[in-house]
Chain A
């Protein structure tokens, strides 16, 4: 046998062993000689099918990579919803649908309906309710109500400092200059600071949604690249391990979230303070911030409270059947209990 087939795939013979006499004898063809194979590398093992296998594997990896990147870019909400829907709603409903199918003689529709209602209401409500509250708060209380309370307090401090010396026409510029100063101190050159401030001002003045989105991205990138240039600085809270983090007076923030908060604050509060012109004073600043802080507290607390109440109420929505449908089909065994309950009820009467 001059060719060896293993698992239907041909290996090329690398070497033949045997004595010289054996090789040259007339019986050479009948002599079973030990054949040595070099174990080929994985990539060279399957000359034909290997290509298809590798291509398929690569395609699968690319697809997984693409899906995962999409999930990550959508944030925790998308991740949770994908996990919730693909991991809970579908398999649980499927199992409930076939629950006690043999005993019942048909699929367990009631159990499937309960399972689907419960799962479809539980997961998404944990995000959709708070999301709805935040969207409503922007309309009712202005975009600054989207700014986290600790950031709002810090921004108030900064506004208070810059408004006193401001001529007020360039309040936004003074505000952002102070913000950038607080983040980078003397670590970057004045020119670099000016570039960042100008980017922030463009974002502040942007009107269309697209413009805001693009400029948000641009400012975020500028801050990240500045962080990279700095490298590691413990005092400023900047690290190469995560250059998308900045530190504003002790508060560590994600750059993207921070830029969004800056825009939400300045397009609302700074504009309101600027509108007061020369009549601006501490009382006005206090009043605006008290309003925004109160609104923020109210919105987040009521959002979580509403969501919690809704979650508590969900069993009322899915428990439409008097009896637990998971026991349907097992009921014959349940007769004794039913009889007992009926007797108890009669006795009570």
Chain B
């Protein structure tokens, strides 16, 4: 399964699924499927998403689950 940070990045920027979908040229519900991990995007769509968020692809997508915020904070604390 492909994990991603699309929902977090979208929330951080305060944009709706519809806005993101329009920018990417896809259906708003497809954004929902992507965010939930029900659908793994093609390489092309993955690159378009990365370009939209101006972030590296491997920052947005990963094969392993992303650590939660609490885990990241505790790592920083240590």
Partners in one complex: no
